[in-house]
């Protein structure tokens, strides 16, 4: 009998992980796919306010199921909301005018103009304008409508000055301005010419008129002539050191001979512009080539990696429109300017403010630049041995106050500086994180800011607060449990508040900025239809980190037919950051892909580990200089705790998957911890930070340093070094046109696996960039079903198309 038991155990030991009896059913891919594409079943989760000319009243189109497509006008001051028009009546009028049939709940994209009296819709190459009161509609040719917009806002290829007198653009690597009057006259002439051509009956007359309206073109078909009357501002543009704002990173070089809108900041008086100039002259190239045609096509692009002597650098230039003179900010070129905060001008336009950083982002400086001389005055400077994140700043009262978010005390807080850089006061403090300033009232001298972790409960839920410049009067305005976002009315103290938890749909309300009082509800998330197809929300869980002390939070997903008496394999969906965690915003988004995977018969988790943002600086920089950590020890600790608590989790069947940074982490996990993770799927992973961008590796791993033995401080974190450790099943996927994470990241791992004589699976997707097609999701499903559930997936299942619209 002992011999027989031993023989049975030996047979079982030889069965692959996840193998089950032949009676196991094939998972229902279609049911899971419906959940994956569930955006079409969610309603009422967003309100997009668009303001009328008074900048107080706004309109929006409802996404609620009950009144979907209805357009409302809201008056915050009077606390009223009224339906702008009857959808059925307007649809009937437009159906007759356009000789078609329109669905009243799906009217063409519309705009509300003329202080709410007129509705404008573009449909079938015509624009219809209808009076909201009488439903009288007129139509116009799109060329007339486009011309009207250009006359008001300027052409799409130029930036129009605040006084509406100048159009600024880049052409042939230099900057030009043109009197807006000339551009307007040209637009009017083109409109009249096209309209005249449309009235001609003879085809030859049409062709002649259209040709006359077309600008002259050089030999290059992608180019057009320099607009007549243009005034050249700069003469020193050259290849890879031009003014068009192109970073070069992963992008195609724009045509030289074509007017192009550039990112520029105009002074309020329209006398000057300020912009960052980008220098890629010495930056190297990464080769890519498309192989799906009869011959390979070169798609090489500009790229710099850690340790490269030349990287993309920036500086700030100020150009005077009248004198056509340029002034350069008196500072060395920086690897990062502005950080998305933008250049901000003083009221008098004699100074501007900009941020810069050292390489590796260890030092960050906010400076005031003299617009006449380029001389710098340092407002404030942060410096740390790890890295810094930019969280924004505001210039208030013409530069009398500068509000700046800094982590200098270990948490992100607001500091107030004088124009000369003197610190006036730290506005608020405590063990919580300010995520941004939503509004600054310079008259009342109050700041509205979003912060997370200040209240009890989940530390990732952002709430809105108000505080006085001097730090007094701190008031919580949005106490509801969930993540809040605030969209303020420009000229009145009200805001649209959208709030939700990860497991609850959003509620959208109009609130008072003075008290936070809810004035009216504008929308409410509706998941009833989503639930009818089997979707269930994730559950929030807490576990201890690897240290046994620190609390971590995550989400757990179960199949709709979950049975606590069964045993389920568990999948770990990871995104290691450090710039964001696996969960993301901690707000509702239907959680479609992990929830769809759960429907196949898995338990799926997402966990925000140590080393991700949203908490203290120390928490965020936990594994600085050791990117191979990836937070994986926290994930293993969390899974062990969940399995000890829940008998329906099979700790012997653990899989992991992720994309990009998650692809790096999932491969790292199965190679570094081969006895814990049995199956991994890696999409477009940045497996070696020396091959990925300098802006990432040098920030989170540190500047590249050579060791005496010839290695460097990046080597230990590179996945290829652990190829010999592979025991389980690994699927590597990458697009061969990925100009973010170059496919060399994956191929070096493949080379090491082959040299280590390891079995693995690989899929290279032709002509795919960083975002992989849905086919790879099916391959991921197949891999986990086959190797963790132990059953064969359905053959050649075709994934459903994603919905064309989404309300979350």
Pairing of the two strands 159-160 and 285-286: unpaired
Question: In this predicted model, what pLDDT tens digit does every residue of 694-708 receive, in sequence order?
Answer: 999 999 999 999 999
Of 337 and 240, more confident: 240
Q: Per-residue pLDDT for 50 more than 70?
A: yes
Neighbours of 100 (CB within 10 A): 10
The first and second tokens of residue 473, run together, are 């009067």
How many angstroms separate the CA atoms of 757 and 724, rounded? 8
Query: Which stretches of 483-602 are assigned E, i.e. beta strand?
Result: 483-488, 494-501, 504-512, 518-524, 539-544, 551-557, 568-573
At 184-235, the pLDDT tens digits run: 999 899 888 888 887 775 455 445 444 444 444 454 556 789 999 999 999 9
**Contact at 8 Å (CB) between 58 and 74?**
yes
Q: What is the pLDDT of residue 334?
A: 81
Contacts of 63-71 spanning 24+ positions with Cβ under 8 A: 63/523, 63/807, 64/523, 64/524, 64/526, 65/526, 65/528, 65/529, 68/43, 68/105, 69/104, 69/105, 69/106, 69/107, 71/110, 71/112, 71/119
**Residue 109 DSSP one-character state:** P
Domain boundaries, the chain: 27-40+538-789
Q: How confident is the model at residue 806 (pLDDT cuts 50, 70, 90)?
A: very low
Tell me: the pLDDT tens digits for 310-324? Answer: 998 888 999 999 999
For residue 716, the tally of other CB atoms under 10 A from its CB is 12
Q: What are the backbone angles phi and psi of residue 709, rounded to the nearest 5°?
A: -85, 5
Residue 194 phi, psi dihedral angles, 5° rounding: -65, -40
CB burial readout 652-662, b (16+ within 10 A) else e: ebbbbbbbbbb
pLDDT interval class at 149 (50, 70, 90): confident
**CB burial of residue 386 (10 Å; 0-12, 13-18, 19+):** middle
pLDDT at residue 214, as a whole number: 45
- 439-to-153, 485, 518 alpha-carbon distances in Å: 26, 12, 18
pLDDT at 25: 80
Closest CA to 38 of 589, 667, 761, 692: 589
**Three-state DSSP class for 718?**
coil
Span 602-611, average pLDDT: 98
Tell the burial category of 361 from Cβ atoms under 10 Å away from its Cβ (0-12, 13-18, 19+).
buried
Cα(1)–Cα(7) distance, rounded to whole angstroms? 10
pLDDT of 13 above 50: no
Residue 807 pLDDT class (50, 70, 90 cuts):
very low
CB atoms within 10 A of CB 490: 10
Q: How far is CA 592 from CA 336, 472, 492, 596, 598, in A?
A: 35, 43, 38, 6, 10
Element (H, E) at 595: helix 592-599
Out of 187-191, 324-328, 662-666, least confident range: 187-191
pLDDT at 673: 98
* Contact predicate 259/170, CB 8 Å: yes
> CA-CA distance, 654 to 478, in Å (whole number)?
40
pTM: 0.91
- Weakest-pLDDT range from 18-22, 588-592, 734-738: 18-22
What's the confidence (pLDDT) of residue 124? 79
Residue appearing with tokens 């705009």: 111
Half-sphere exposure of 621 (CA within 13 A, CB side): 18
CA separation for the pair 497, 519 (Å, rounded): 11
Answer yes or no: are the C-beta atoms of 314 and 336 closer than 8 Å: yes
Statement: residue 49 has pLDDT above 90: yes
CA pair distance 721, 742, nearest whole angstrom: 18
Asked if the model's pLDDT at residue 155 lies above 80, the reply is yes
Q: Nearest 10 degrees: CA dihedral of 409, 411, 413, 419?
A: 40
Structure tokens at 350: 């004699």
Does the 27-40+538-789 domain belong in CATH 3.40.50.1820?
yes
Burial label for 499, CB within 10 Å (0-12, 13-18, 19+), is: buried
What pLDDT was estimated at residue 252?
Answer: 56
Lowest mean pLDDT: which of 106-120, 432-446, 671-685, 771-785?
Answer: 106-120
Task: For the chain, give the percent of residues with pLDDT over 90.
Answer: 78
Task: Compute the distance between CA of residue 236 and CA of residue 109 in angstroms, rounded to an integer.
Answer: 44
More confident call, 278 vs 740: 740
> Is residue 546 pLDDT above 90, yes or no?
yes
Residue 19, pLDDT score = 43
What was the pLDDT predicted at 254? 65
Residue in 661, 610, 599 with CA at minimum distance from that of residue 638: 610
How far, in Å, CA of 689 to CA of 305, rounded? Answer: 8
More confident: 803 or 743: 743
- Please give the average per-residue pLDDT across 632-639, as a whole number: 98
State how far the Cα of 572 lies from the Cα of 550, in Å rounded to an integer: 20
Q: Residue 9: what pLDDT?
A: 34
DSSP-based three-state secondary structure for 669: helix
Looking at residue 21, its pLDDT comes to: 34
Sequence-ordered list of residues with C-beta below 8 angstroms from that of 355, at least 6 positions apart, any chain: 336, 337, 338, 339, 341, 364, 365, 366, 367, 390, 393
Q: Under a CB-based contact definition with an 8 Å cutoff, are residues 596 and 32 in contact?
A: yes
- C-beta atoms surrounding 317 within 10 Å: 18
H/E run at residue 2: helix 2-14
- The least confident of 40-44, 164-168, 268-272, 721-725 is 40-44
Confidence of residue 98 (pLDDT cuts 50, 70, 90): confident
Look over the chain and give the mean of its residue pLDDT values, rounded to a whole number: 90
Residue 581 in this model has a pLDDT that exceeds 50: yes
pLDDT at 249: 56
Q: Residue 617: is its pLDDT beyond 50?
A: yes
Can you tell me the mean pLDDT for 573-594? Answer: 91
Mean pLDDT of 376-380: 95
Mean pLDDT of 111-130: 90
Contact 766, 291 (CB under 8 A): yes
Tokens of 155: 């052409």
> Does residue 186 have a cis bond before it (omega within 30 degrees)?
no
Phi-psi region at 706: left, alpha or beta (left = phi > 0; alpha = psi -120 to 50): beta
pLDDT band at 341 (very low <50, low <70, confident <90, very high): low
pLDDT value for 339 = 52
pLDDT band at 2 (very low <50, low <70, confident <90, very high): very low
pLDDT above 90 (res 250)? no
**Whether pLDDT at 248 is above 50:** yes
Longest distance between any two alpha carbons in the chain, whole Å: 101
Strand partners, 187: none
Q: For residues 270-294, give the mean pLDDT.
A: 93
């Amino acid at each position: 009998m002992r011999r027989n038991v031993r023989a049975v155990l030996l047979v079982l030991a030889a069965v692959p992980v996840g193998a089950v009896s032949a009676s196991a059913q094939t998972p229902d891919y279609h049911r899971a796919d419906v959940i994956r594409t569930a955006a079409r079943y969610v309603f009422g989760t967003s309100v997009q306010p668009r303001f009328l000319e008074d900048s107080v009243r706004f309109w929006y189109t409802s996404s609620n199921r009950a009144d979907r497509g209805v357009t409302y006008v809201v008056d915050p001051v009077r606390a009223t909301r009224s339906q702008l028009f009857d959808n059925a009546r307007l649809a009937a009028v437009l159906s007759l005018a356009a000789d078609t049939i329109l669905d009243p709940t799906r009217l063409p994209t519309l705009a509300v103009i003329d202080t709410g009296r007129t509705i404008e819709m573009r449909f079938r190459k015509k624009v219809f304008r209808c009076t909201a009161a009488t439903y009288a509609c007129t139509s116009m040719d799109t060329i007339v409508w486009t011309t009207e917009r250009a006359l008001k806002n300027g052409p799409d290829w130029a930036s129009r000055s605040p006084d509406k007198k100048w159009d600024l653009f880049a052409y042939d690597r230099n900057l030009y301005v043109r009197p807006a009057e000339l551009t307007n006259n040209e637009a009017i002439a083109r409109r009249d010419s096209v309209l005249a051509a449309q009235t001609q009956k003879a085809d030859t007359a049409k062709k002649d008129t259209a040709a006359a309206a077309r600008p002259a073109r050089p030999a290059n078909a992608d180019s057009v002539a320099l607009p007549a009357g243009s005034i050249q501002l700069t003469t020193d543009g050259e290849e890879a050191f031009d003014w068009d704002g192109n970073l070069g990173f992963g992008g195609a070089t724009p045509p030289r001979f074509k007017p192009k809108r550039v990112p520029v900041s105009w002074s309020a008086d329209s006398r000057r512009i300020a912009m960052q100039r980008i220098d890629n002259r010495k930056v190297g190239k990464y080769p890519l080539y498309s192989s799906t045609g009869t011959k390979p096509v070169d798609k090489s692009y500009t790229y710099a990696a850690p340790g490269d002597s030349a990287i993309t650098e920036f500086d700030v230039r100020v150009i005077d429109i009248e004198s056509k003179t340029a002034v350069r900010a008196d500072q060395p070129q920086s690897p990062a300017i502005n950080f998305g905060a933008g250049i901000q001008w003083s009221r008098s336009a004699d100074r501007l403010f900009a941020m810069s950083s050292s390489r590796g982002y260890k030092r960050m400086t906010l400076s005031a630049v003299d617009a006449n001389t380029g001389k710098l005055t340092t407002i404030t400077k942060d410096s740390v041995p790890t890295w810094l994140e930019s969280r924004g700043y505001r210039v208030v009262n013409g530069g009398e106050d500068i509000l700046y978010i800094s982590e200098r005390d270990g948490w992100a807080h607001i500091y107030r500086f004088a124009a000369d850089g003197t610190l006036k006061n730290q506005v608020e403090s405590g063990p919580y994180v300010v995520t941004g300033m939503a509004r600054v009232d310079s008259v009342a001298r109050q700041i509205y800011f979003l912060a997370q972790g200040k209240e009890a409960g989940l530390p990732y839920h952002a709430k809105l607060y108000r505080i006085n410049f001097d730090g007094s009067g701190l008031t919580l305005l949005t106490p509801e449990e969930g993540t809040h976002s605030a969209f303020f009315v420009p000229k009145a103290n009200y805001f649209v508040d959208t709030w939700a938890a990860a497991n609850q749909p959003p509620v959208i309300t109009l609130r008072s900025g003075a008290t936070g009082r809810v004035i009216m509800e504008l929308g409410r998330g509706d998941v009833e239809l989503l639930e009818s197809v089997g979707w269930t929300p994730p559950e929030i869980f807490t576990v201890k980190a690897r240290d046994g002390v620190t609390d971590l939070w995550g989400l757990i997903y179960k199949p709709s037919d979950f049975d606590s008496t069964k045993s389920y394999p568990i999948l770990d969906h990871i995104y290691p950051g450090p710039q964001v965690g696996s969960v993301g915003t901690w707000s509702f988004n239907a959680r479609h892909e992990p929830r769809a995977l759960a429907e196949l018969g898995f338990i799926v988790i997402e966990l925000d580990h140590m080393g991700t943002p949203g908490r203290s600086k120390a928490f965020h920089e936990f594994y600085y200089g050791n990117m191979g950590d990836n937070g994986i020890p926290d994930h293993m600790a969390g899974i062990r705790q969940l399995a000890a608590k829940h008998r329906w989790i099979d700790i012997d069947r653990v899989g992991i998957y992720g994309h990009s940074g998650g692809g790096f982490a999932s491969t790292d996990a199965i190679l570094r911890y081969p006895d814990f993770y049995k199956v991994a799927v890696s999409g477009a992973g940045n497996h070696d930070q020396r091959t990925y961008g300098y802006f990432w590796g040098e920030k989170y791993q540190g500047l590249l340093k050579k060791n005496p033995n010839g290695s460097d401080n990046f080597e230990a974190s590179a996945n290829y070094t652990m190829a010999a450790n592979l025991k389980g099943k690994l699927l590597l996927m990458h697009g061969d046109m990925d100009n973010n994470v170059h496919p060399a990241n994956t191929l070096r791992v493949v080379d090491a696996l082959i040299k280590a004589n390891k079995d693995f699976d690989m899929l290279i997707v032709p002509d795919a960039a960083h975002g992989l097609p849905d086919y790879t999701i099916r391959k991921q499903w197949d891999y986990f079903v086959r190797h963790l559930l132990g059953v064969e997936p359905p053959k050649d299942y075709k994934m459903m198309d994603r919905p064309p619209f989404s309300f979350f």
